[in-house]
Structure 1
């Protein structure tokens, strides 16, 4: 009996070993022809572009709901060039990546984070959410990593770095921990906690996609870069578990995500709303597309797009990761229709085209391979692969729960006092010119909390320099408070409008605003 059991045991072990590619279990080094490395890298960038183009018309038009199967999403020959020419701002997923790629190209792999932050903060493109708060912070002297920290950035958990981290994985083939190190430096320019983890996770999946053709493996193995205690990890682990439970029904998994993870409690615009720009739920949609797409490029884009919310960025991430896994040549011709004629068009706000990106990114990947113990020969590369390790635990807004949203809808002309009960607040609004052709202006507002001045805030009317959320404060003593906003420099040609405020408490209780 013992001999039989022993034989069965070793048969089971052998079977488990055969279930995944051998190098994933044994080899510390992987050798690839240079042509294969280049093909995979090109597939990553092209897949991202294709996914972003495909999902562009649906972006944030389906919030809290999926896009039904009967709803057509267009795709036709020439669509990529048409979109790049007519709607160049759609490709923030890529031109944001290229900001950091360009800094590495100009200053080398050891470029300091200050260089990346300066390039990003002073770029010509428009920004929103965590990116814009990060930019504002840098322009006003709050530098990384504090520019992305949740105490200085109410949008810290938003999707921003998640959609910009592709470069980190693409320049780190088979080296997810190296990708995480790059993300540690650059991702904290604008994000923290779960918002940062989104970029770490995407970078790790790109990295592993170079050395595995098993989508399930890549999705699961990359998650090892994320601390298991985090909400981000728990959400992705749930999706992986639900995929096993409902292997043929992505919509059932979507509903499970909606029930458990769709409530945004940190990004002000998503609180008490169906809109959700949180990195976690949108990353869930990325891996729903990858897991249920089963390596089929079109199916992967369709599912990640039809999950809704940030439905251009999510298929861009899924398409880029799968494109890396398949390689450029293996992306179906249907999805590359018109791609060639668009590959020499410079992305807006850059001097780099897709063809430029292929070449520069390949150069960086070869440098990273050599720096991390690998070897680059004339026709092949040897990569010292890495076992994913979790980055440190970060939690944004710990113990803060949104309890009510109040409409303000007032122009601040002198002073406005608002009483509330809780431990924190965020107020949204905008600083505007009365005449679109008029000059810009910088309002200054003194913020007085419980009869003590806590800060004087500059609020530019210039769109690129604006403060995306006007005022916020967290970690207050629990109880009754009064916040007063005192406008120090009114202008007859400009207005400062407060639209609404959100109060936080240490537990989810209603009616926190003092009536």
Structure 2
């Protein structure tokens, strides 16, 4: 059955068709087999389907990214798709595919240095790449360039964005190179995911990788999402949210908006990310993973429906449908993704992603090669025609919790240059100072000291260049509760440069209690 869809692009209405039904994706799965045999041809088809689905999903959600924060995108809002659409993004706004070319940074290191490549090689490739970064990724890049290597680069004490979704949107490769082996995907993510994340932020990537891994051996979405969740510690906030989504789907099987609403009520609170506290913006891994899960569960195995629902949940609404469509694309395989979506993909398969010399066509080959190596390394066999996978029953990774005991209680509006900041008085247990360094000379690096109660806390290098900037100027957690005075000293001021403090985010050890008389 075809469903007519009106698309809006550049002020014009476009009439297209979207397949809203397709061949059922298979029978229900209830147990994980000890081994699983798949033809080399089908294994490659599934790997290609994962990368294709991710790229299509990213494109589909692209125009909506962070335009709907804390609200869903209603069905009457058209999302464009037309012939040549992916090529347009490739040529005019290639930064849309940051979650894909970030994956490829790690795929390329494995290709060049092998499965045992050290974490420092991944960290330096990531930190020295030419692309722009944000949030946990940018904080990690800064840390690495300052000599703070993983896992310290992603730890919440060194990275205020540690719970953000950065590794979640970059972890696809780990599952695609670990077919049927979710624990192997977790081991990869332990090494690479801690470059930029910790705790819930890391769990987002572990879970996504496990779902991709299990998508090779099962076509039952309910089984995939439930079994993959066994890689996450039950005590974690992340696990509890995903478990809620699965439960709400069972309670409200025909109403994805009800499950979305229940998520908003219970799980939309952001604590760590300084850009997502006290505002609707939420880049936390927990809520955005919930949106991936809503798309998968309510999508019923339909490629468009899965991608569309994950997009319409809002927030990071290009990366979330990318993950959902990538996981389902792995289930279906490249050959079973509807041609309506594949036409645009085939138009760009041989084009390199921005900041890389890697195309999708080359990605398929590298990822397939790595998957065969991982199968053999983990007890499977690779024949001329078939591959036998020694399947892994998922086990939970270790428990991590960032920002424990911290509660946002207020903001201090500083809005001054560093020389005019004077004294900032904190009454709490933690503080993050937001701001920006600007200079006529982009190579300029401001050196600024932060003092707490007259004692030097840190001397920070603050680059003016956007690519190497410190995402937040200063922060300090685990402060003894009470009043503390923060002051700053600019050690190397130059003409044409400024160090601007915008605001300070204040934490305490208990939630804010507002009592009106």
What is the TM-score when the length of structure 2 is the normalising length? 0.93
Corresponding position: 1:201 with 2:204: no
| Residue among 135, 141, 146 paired with 1:135 | 141
Corresponding position: 1:220 with 2:226: yes
1:280-295 equivalent positions in 2, closer than 5 A: 280-295=286-301
Give the secondary structure class of the aligned counterpart of 2:423.
Answer: strand
Show the counterpart of 2:505: 502
In 1: Cα distance, 2:448 partner to 2:69 partner: 34
How many residues are paired up? 490
| Residue among 462, 467, 485 paired with 2:465 | 462
| 2:442–2:464 Cα contact (<8 Å) kept | no
- Please state how far the C-alpha of 1:89 moved relative to its aligned partner: 0.6
- Please state how far the C-alpha of 1:415 moved relative to its aligned partner: 5.3
Corresponding position: 1:364 with 2:370: yes
In 1: Cα distance, 2:47 partner to 2:491 partner: 53
Give the secondary structure class of the aligned counterpart of 1:269.
Answer: coil
- Decide which moves more: 275-284 or 487-496: 487-496
| 1:414–1:490 Cα contact (<8 Å) kept | no
Show the counterpart of 1:36: 42
In 1: Cα distance, 2:275 partner to 2:150 partner: 24
In 1: Cα distance, 2:397 partner to 2:151 partner: 15
Q: 1:43 to 1:439 in 2, by over 3 A?
A: closer
Per-residue CA distance 1:481-501 (angstroms, 9 max, x = gap): 111111112122111111111
Show the counterpart of 2:333: 327
Show the counterpart of 1:124: 130
In 2: Cα distance, 1:59 partner to 1:363 partner: 33
- Please state how far the C-alpha of 1:204 moved relative to its aligned partner: 0.1
| 2:176–2:371 Cα contact (<8 Å) kept | yes
- RMSD value over aligned CA atoms? 1.3
- Please state how far the C-alpha of 1:439 moved relative to its aligned partner: 4.2
| Residue among 250, 258, 263 paired with 2:264 | 258
| 1:131–1:160 Cα contact (<8 Å) kept | yes
Give the secondary structure class of the aligned counterpart of 1:268.
Answer: coil
In 1: Cα distance, 2:67 partner to 2:445 partner: 33
In 1: Cα distance, 2:196 partner to 2:29 partner: 37
Per-residue CA distance 1:441-498 (angstroms, 9 max, x = gap): 1111111001110110110101111000110000011111111111112122111111
Per-residue CA distance 1:133-166 (angstroms, 9 max, x = gap): 0000000011000000000000000010000000
- Please state how far the C-alpha of 1:416 moved relative to its aligned partner: 2.5
Show the counterpart of 2:93: 87
* Structure (1 or 2) with the greater helix fraction: 1
In 1: Cα distance, 2:205 partner to 2:492 partner: 40
In 1: Cα distance, 2:226 partner to 2:27 partner: 14
In 1: Cα distance, 2:138 partner to 2:60 partner: 25
Show the counterpart of 1:449: 452
| Residue among 403, 418, 423 paired with 1:417 | 423
Structure 2: stretches of 5+ with no match in the other structure? 1-25
- Please state how far the C-alpha of 1:21 moved relative to its aligned partner: 3.4
- Decide which moves more: 443-452 or 187-196: 443-452
Structure 1: stretches of 5+ with no match in the other structure? 1-17
Q: Point out 4+ residue stretches in structure 1 off by more than 3 angstroms.
A: 18-22
1:374-413 equivalent positions in 2, closer than 5 A: 374-413=380-419
In 1: Cα distance, 2:83 partner to 2:382 partner: 38
Corresponding position: 1:302 with 2:305: no
| 1:421–1:479 Cα contact (<8 Å) kept | yes
| 2:434–2:472 Cα contact (<8 Å) kept | yes
In 1: Cα distance, 2:397 partner to 2:295 partner: 25
What is the TM-score when the length of structure 1 is the normalising length? 0.94
Show the counterpart of 2:483: 480
In 2: Cα distance, 1:288 partner to 1:467 partner: 34
Give the secondary structure class of the aligned counterpart of 1:227.
Answer: coil
Corresponding position: 1:314 with 2:320: yes
| Residue among 113, 117, 141 paired with 2:119 | 113
Show the counterpart of 2:437: 431
In 1: Cα distance, 2:344 partner to 2:313 partner: 26
In 2: Cα distance, 1:131 partner to 1:220 partner: 28
- Please state how far the C-alpha of 1:264 moved relative to its aligned partner: 0.5
| 1:446–1:486 Cα contact (<8 Å) kept | yes
Corresponding position: 1:269 with 2:272: no
Corresponding position: 1:345 with 2:351: yes
Show the counterpart of 2:9: none
